[in-house]
Amino acid sequence: MTCDLRTTAADDSKAPPRQRGVSFACSGCMAIGQTRCALVTGASSGIGAAIARRLASDGLRVFGTSRKPFDSGQSGIEPVVLDVTDDDSVRAAIDLVLDKSGRLDVLINNAGTTLVGALEETSTDEARWLLETNLLGVHRVTRACLPHLRARKGHTVIIGSIAGFLAKPGEGFYSATKHALEGYADVLRLELSPFGVRVALVEPGFVRTNFASIARAVATPLEIYDVLRHAMRDGLVRDVEGGVEAAEVAACVSRIVASGAPKLRHRVGRDAARIYRIKSLLPPGMFEWGLRRRFGLAGHNKGVE
């Protein structure tokens, strides 16, 4: 079982690059003369913008969403206002897409954010805010789109993170939401398999975007966690600066959407593949020790082996 899971979740960054600008689709996904339609959440910048551009270049009709009106700056990308935390906003956005295109073939759940602070510093309201966006937001949009995706035997792709299999001190609820998405994708894939809907989860490592600069901090920090918080922020900035380009994640999504039978997990970036291998090979206590050193916690209680 373990061997099978690792094979299924192999590093996707090593897949051969596709020719840009060539429209293609999985066998049986598109009839001749029809254009597949994709909805990409969180498409105003970063990974979402890169995905929207790539899918448009692949020949799909792309609707890119953001909480506030935005100019995509790209031909072929149609901006739509959508707040993933609001049911009415989600319904209105999907109705607009269907009114304009008459179909929905691809959903890319990319919208998400983070919260910097130790768990003890995090209020229930702050935790709820993050859960509403990163987890319930994905569910809200997916649930509203599923009748239309079933009709097209389409694709739904969730943009997760290495935080889905890696505990990140200082971003505890971010890690919790990404771990939850791992289970959500597992179940969604099983439940939708009888209907021909393809489900995939992308687990990028660090990506060069503005994610670190827009990270929200807890409102009431505690002095005892200053070292952790500073180590986490410094490390996040450093890791993001050394990460892969967002276009690499977009290329992975492009391959998924083109496939009639994509695997479930797709890791993007050497750091994602490396961290997963290290965690799977090292004894838990040794891996935990490494995390404590990485986040300035080496002098704290060593915990339980």
Rg of the chain taking only CA atoms, in angstroms: 19
> What is residue 74's predicted lDDT score, i.e. its pLDDT?
66
Residue 144: pLDDT above 60? Answer: yes
For the stretch 208-249, pLDDT in tens is: 888 777 789 999 999 999 988 888 878 777 888 888 999 999
> What is residue 127's predicted lDDT score, i.e. its pLDDT?
98
d(CA 9, CA 152): 26
* Burial group, residue 30, by CB count within 10 angstroms (0-12, 13-18, 19+): middle
- pLDDT averaged over every residue in the chain: 87
pLDDT tier, 133 (very low <50, low <70, confident <90, very high otherwise): very high
**15 SS3 class:** coil
More confident residue, 252 or 303: 252
Q: Contact 271/72 with Cβ under 8 angstroms?
A: no
pLDDT tier, 31 (very low <50, low <70, confident <90, very high otherwise): very low
> What is residue 11's predicted lDDT score, i.e. its pLDDT?
53
What's the distance, CA 40 to chain centroid?
Answer: 11
**100 SS3 class:** helix
Residue 10: pLDDT above 50? Answer: no
Which ranges of 120-225 does DSSP label H, i.e. alpha helix? 124-134, 136-152, 172-192
> What is residue 12's predicted lDDT score, i.e. its pLDDT?
57
> What is residue 26's predicted lDDT score, i.e. its pLDDT?
53
Q: Spell out the residues 6+ positions from residue 285 whose beta carbon is closer than 8 angstroms to its own.
A: 302, 303, 305
Residue 192: pLDDT above 50? Answer: yes
> What is residue 288's predicted lDDT score, i.e. its pLDDT?
93
Q: Contact 103/148 with Cβ under 8 angstroms?
A: yes
Helix (H) or strand (E) holding 198: strand 198-204
d(CA 79, CA 70): 7
Residue 303: pLDDT above 50? Answer: no
Active site residue 276: no
Q: Which of 174, 184, 225, 276 is catalytic?
A: 174
d(CA 36, CA 60): 5
> What is residue 299's predicted lDDT score, i.e. its pLDDT?
61
Residue 159: strand pairing partners:
202
* Burial group, residue 120, by CB count within 10 angstroms (0-12, 13-18, 19+): exposed
Residues 43-53 have a mean pLDDT of 95
For the stretch 83-124, pLDDT in tens is: 999 999 999 999 999 999 999 999 999 999 999 999 999 999
The tokens of 58 are what? 């692949």
Q: Contact 269/206 with Cβ under 8 angstroms?
A: yes
Residue 32: pLDDT above 80? Answer: no
Residues 20-48 have a mean pLDDT of 69
- Sign of the torsion angle spanned by Cα atoms 146, 149, 153, 155: negative
- Cα–Cα separations (whole angstroms), residue 179 to 5, 25, 168, 203, 230: 16, 31, 11, 11, 24
> What is residue 227's predicted lDDT score, i.e. its pLDDT?
87
The tokens of 137 are what? 């937001």
Q: Contact 157/142 with Cβ under 8 angstroms?
A: no
Identify the DSSP state of 98: H
- Enumerate domains of the chain plus CATH numbers: 20-294 (3.40.50.720)
CA nearest to 192, candidates 256, 159, 143 = 143
pTM beyond 0.75: the answer is yes
d(CA 80, CA 249): 22
More confident residue, 8 or 157: 157
